[in-house]
Amino acid sequence: MKYADSIAAALPSAKVDALLCVHAEGLPGLNVRYLSGFTGSSAAVLIGSRHRVLFTDGRYQDQVVSECMDWEARITRAGESFPDVISEHCRQRGLGRVGYEPEGITAGMLSALIGAGGVN
């Protein structure tokens, strides 16, 4: 959690409300693991000034509980997409400007996040 706290402290100087790191199957995801401790193969972490959220799917529900106790977990349901769920979360929390890790996000996911209003 201490690394996530360091990121949260740096958000204002980066002029963003939160940082998004994504680990999708086939993409590098070391920072998701480094920041949260989550070892599954599909997840995203969103770090804001006052909250830490790990997004993943139902395959990892028990794993999230055991590995990421200090994180709010958002388990996607069948038919939900990461971009839609993350975007909705950002809107609910008033996160207008979200930075992201370019190596861990596909162009398609970035386009979906922008289209859903989750990343500016």
pLDDT at 60: 92
Provide the 10 A C-beta neighbour count for residue 84.
16
pLDDT at 26: 63
pLDDT at 1: 54
Look up residue 91 and give its two tokens.
């809107």
- Residues in Cβ contact with 1 at an 8 Å cutoff, skipping those fewer than 6 apart: 52, 70
pLDDT at 90: 87
Sign of the C-alpha dihedral computed for residues 56, 61, 62 and 64 taken in this order: positive
Does the pLDDT of residue 116 top 70, yes or no? Answer: no
- Residues in Cβ contact with 13 at an 8 Å cutoff, skipping those fewer than 6 apart: none
Look up residue 56 and give its two tokens.
């993943």
Residue 58: what residue type?
Answer: G
Q: Has this prediction a pTM greater than 0.85?
A: yes
pLDDT at 12: 92
Q: Quick one: what percent of the chain has pLDDT higher than 70?
A: 88
**Pairing relationship of beta strands 98-100 and 72-76 according to DSSP bridges:** unpaired
Q: In angstroms, rounded to a whole number, what is the distance separating the alpha carbons of residues 96 and 120?
A: 7
Task: Express each pLDDT in 55-103 by its tens digit.
Answer: 999 999 999 999 998 899 999 988 888 888 888 888 888 888 888 888 7
